Amino acid sequence: MTFPRDPELPQAAANDVPRLDSATVATEFSGPSRQTIAACPDCDLLNSLPENPHVTMLCGRCGAVLYRHHPNSIDRSLSLTLAALVLFLLSNSFPFLAMKSGGLVQETTLLTGIRELWKQELQGLAILVMLTCVLVPLAQMLGLLYILLPLKLGLRPAFGAARVFRLVQEVAPWGMMEVFMMGILVALVKLGHMATIVPGISVFSFGALIFVMAAAFSCLDPQLLWDRLDLRR
């Protein structure tokens, strides 16, 4: 049994898709210690994790990222999450666009937009926008804070932290702030011919928030967090 393999793949498995025998697998399951083998989430191939933690490890068969080194992960994610919370408060308390036409000025914040949809009998849509742009990002930030703070302070993991972390990861595809930012830009140009559009404080804080949030998540080391949150030992 052979698999077509890309010889350029940088991982050790390139010369040999690791065929882990049952003895290796059995010793792995003697107790909840740090895992040395991992199954690829995309193709289920068993790979041995590298001894050296400073490398990025790809699956030998499908190329999915199995492991990536994240230096100083808890400090970095925690500080970025705190920054994101501040920016989130800013973004939701100031108008992001104001429209001037004649003597009329119309300002809008994220929440007034959602309220307007609700008033027009489009409750489903209002809930969807509320979820994807406000509630999911907020829940992600608060969840990360809840997990990371006790770890940073050297306390035992917070109650139910593993469950919270699982939820934070599960809702991630539904946080669509960067798509909303794109929507703001399109609306800006679209209304440009009609009236004078003034971008507000919120546009800038929202723009920054997207990058800070993305950075917070890419600094996160799921492997390390799962090890620390594991309460079985």
Partner 1 sequence: MKENATTAYQHGLVNCHDCHLLIKIPHAHADLLCPRCGAHLHPRKPNSLARTWALVCAAIILYIPANVLPMTITTALGTKQADTIISGVIYFMQSGSWEIALVIFIASVLVPFVKLCILIFLVLSVRFRSAWRPKDRTTLYRLTELVGRWSMVDIYVVTILVALVKLGAIATIEAGPAAVYFASVVVMTMFAAESFDPRLIWDVIEEDI
Query: What residues numbered 133-152 form the site for partner 1, per CB under 8 A?
Result: 133
CB of 126 to partner 1, least distance (A): 8
Separation of alpha carbons 46 and 180, rounded Å: 39
Give the helix ranges, DSSP H, for 94-200.
Answer: 110-119, 123-130, 136-152, 161-171, 177-192
Q: Which stretch binds partner 1 (CB under 8 A): 73-81, 141-149, 174-182, 209-217?
A: 174-182
In the bound state with partner 1, the residue whose beta carbon lies nearer, of 75 and 116, is 116
Return the number of other C-beta atoms located less than 10 Å from residue 148's C-beta.
Answer: 25
Return all residues near 146 (Cβ < 8 A) that are at least 6 apart: 158, 161, 164
In the bound state with partner 1, the residue whose beta carbon lies nearer, of 17 and 215, is 17
Pattern of binders to partner 1 over 45-74, x per CB under 8 A? xx--------------xxxx----------
How many residues make contact with partner 1 (CB under 8 A)?
A: 73
CA angle 112, 114, 116 (to 5 degrees): 70
Return all residues near 155 (Cβ < 8 A) that are at least 6 apart: none
Positions 72 through 111 that interact with partner 1 (CB under 8 A):
97, 99, 101-102, 104, 106, 108
Among 37, 86, 89, 201, binds partner 1 (CB under 8 A): 37
Q: Which stretch binds partner 1 (CB under 8 A): 15-23, 73-81, 148-156, 207-215?
A: 15-23
Order of strands across the sheet that contains 104-108: 104-108, 97-101, 196-199
Q: Is 117 in the site for partner 1 (CB under 8 A)?
A: yes
